[in-house]
Amino acid sequence: MVTLTQSLQHWLWENHKDIIGLIIFGHLELFTEDMKKEYLEWCQTEEGRQYLKGGSKYIEEGENK
C-alpha cells in the first residue's frame, strides 16, 4: 500500500475518485505526469495551500478529524 499526503489524497478524491483506490494499492502507473503537474499547480492555489502542513485544513498526525 502507498501512503498519500493529505493534500494529494484530497486532490485525488476531488478529481480522480475512480482510481484513488488503485493508486493507494500500488498502481502508481495510473498517476500520470499530467496529473502530477495538475496536482502541483493546485498546491499553489489558495485551496491547495489549506491542505499542506500549516494550512487551515491540515490535520497533524494523531489529531482527531
How far is 5 from 10, CA to CA, in rounded Å? 9
Q: Give the residue numbers spanning the domain of 44.
A: 6-50
62 pLDDT more than 90: no
* Residue 25 in domain: yes
Domain count along the chain: 1
* Residue 41 in domain: yes
The candidate with the shortest Cα–Cα distance to 24, out of 6, 9, 2, 8, is 2
Q: How many CA atoms lie within 13 A of 62 on its CB side?
A: 0
State residue 43's pLDDT score. 98
* Residue 63 in domain: no
State residue 61's pLDDT score. 79
Could you read off the pLDDT of 10-57 as tens digits, one per residue?
A: 999 999 999 999 999 999 999 999 999 999 999 999 999 999 999 999
> Which grid coordinates belong to 40?
502541483
Residues, the chain, total? 65
